[in-house]
């Protein structure tokens, strides 16, 4: 075991892990964080807390992680390299670890153009691969990126994102290999709707033996409506929603579409469970956290292991 992370414990035990996510509120509303986290209690092994997702200002991921940690749950600190330089990021990592947060996800983040501050400076002192490398170096060598020794270095279980569907597709396996070279421990993927293409990507991963080096958790997002399916298909960069999925959502009456979305999510998990190299699921129910327990239960992933 590299860290104290509950997620790491579950993954190394060989059982399928489950994580979910919680987007912090756009204001000083700690109860909102508690409310969302409480819905997930007992159903997941870690709660990702987004970092100014879609480049919109929200309560900081670190603050929301601390709130969740104080509830006795296991937050996963998401960190984008868009907003802060390496000084700020490393100090936040130490701060997080000081509060018992031991799992994090390293991302580059959406471009500010998409958010509420398109006029903001775009930092990118590091990219996501270099952030992974930095956190790994902090943990393994006990030194900062700049080379100085850290007193009580943070032991972070390191995650990264992967999008099996972005272009160039032929580079997608190599891109993951690069994150593995940099020192990533687990990977949560973009929402998977095109299961065939995901399986093809996984084959590429297994062919190179990369599945032995990293825990891969496909992202699952239940769709609430046919409108959401169409939006994700057409508007979200790097998202692959096959026509059959949109058709299936549109094929049921409006009031039953949410249920259909949950069914699709459960069926996807059932199918992907058997794919070689899949070690768990990352269920991102966007502003719909209350549905996560149902999905976890119906997918046979409940109860969560006590470790």
Binding site for another protein (CB under 8 A): 82, 86, 108-111, 113-114, 122, 124-130, 133-134, 145, 161-163, 166-168, 171, 174-175, 177-178, 181-182, 190, 237-238
Q: How far is the CB of 290 from another protein (least distance, A)?
A: 27
Q: Which is nearer to another protein, 9 or 175 (CB)?
A: 175
Query: Both tokens of residue 82?
Result: 């868009």
Q: What are the φ and ψ backbone dihedral angles of 57, each rounded to 5 degrees?
A: -70, 130
Nearest to 29 by CA among 68, 55, 59: 59
CB distance 173 to 200 below 8 Å = no
- Cα(212)–Cα(279) distance, rounded to whole angstroms? 11
Nearer to another protein, 29 or 114 (CB): 114
Question: How far apart are CB 169 and another protein at their closest, in Å?
Answer: 10
Please choose, from the candidates 254, 252, 281, the residue with its C-alpha nearest in 3D space to the C-alpha of residue 265.
281
Nearest-angstrom CA–CA distance, 110 and 275: 29
- What's the closest the beta carbon of residue 104 comes to another protein, in angstroms? 17
| In contact, 223 and 261? CB cutoff 8 Å | yes
**In the complex, least distance from residue 166 CB atom to another protein, rounded to whole angstroms:** 5
Cβ proximity to another protein: between 192 and 266 the closer is: 192
Based on CB atoms, which residue is closest to another protein, 113 or 256? Answer: 113
Could you tell me which residues come within 8 angstroms of residue 254 by beta carbon, excluding any fewer than 6 positions away? 225, 226
Shortest spacing between CB 34 and another protein, in angstroms: 31
Nearer to another protein by C-beta: 118 or 305? 118
């Amino acid at each position: 075991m590299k860290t104290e992370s509950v997620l790491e414990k579950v993954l190394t035990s060989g059982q399928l892990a489950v994580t979910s996510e919680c987007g912090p509120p756009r204001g000083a509303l700690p109860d909102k964080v508690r409310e969302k986290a409480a819905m997930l209690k007992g159903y997941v092994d870690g709660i990702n807390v987004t970092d100014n997702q879609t480049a919109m200002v929200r309560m900081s991921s670190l603050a929301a992680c601390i709130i969740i940690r104080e509830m006795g749950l296991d937050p996963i600190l998401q960190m984008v390299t868009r907003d802060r330089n390496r000084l700020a990021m490393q100090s936040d990592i130490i701060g997080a670890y000081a509060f018992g947060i031991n799992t994090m996800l390293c991302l580059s983040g959406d471009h500010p153009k998409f958010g509420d501050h398109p006029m903001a400076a775009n930092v990118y002192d590091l990219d996501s691969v270099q952030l992974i490398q930095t956190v790994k170096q902090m943990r393994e060598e006990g030194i900062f990126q700049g080379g100085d020794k850290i007193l009580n270095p943070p032991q972070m279980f390191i995650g990264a994102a992967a999008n099996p569907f972005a272009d160039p597709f032929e580079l997608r396996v190599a891109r993951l290999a690069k994150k593995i070279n940099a020192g990533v421990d687990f990977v949560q993927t973009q929402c998977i709707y095109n299961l065939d293409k995901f399986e093809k990507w996984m084959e590429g991963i297994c062919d190179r033996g990369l599945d032995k080096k990293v825990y891969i958790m496909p992202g699952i997002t239940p769709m609430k409506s046919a409108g959401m399916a169409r939006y994700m298909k057409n508007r979200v960069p790097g998202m692959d929603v096959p026509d059959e999925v949109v058709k299936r959502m549109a094929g049921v009456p409006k009031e039953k579409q949410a249920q259909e979305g949950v069914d699709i999510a459960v069926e996807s998990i059932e199918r992907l469970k058997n794919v070689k190299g899949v070690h768990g699921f990352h269920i991102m129910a966007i502003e719909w956290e209350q549905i996560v327990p149902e999905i976890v239960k119906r997918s046979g992933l409940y109860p969560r292991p006590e470790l």
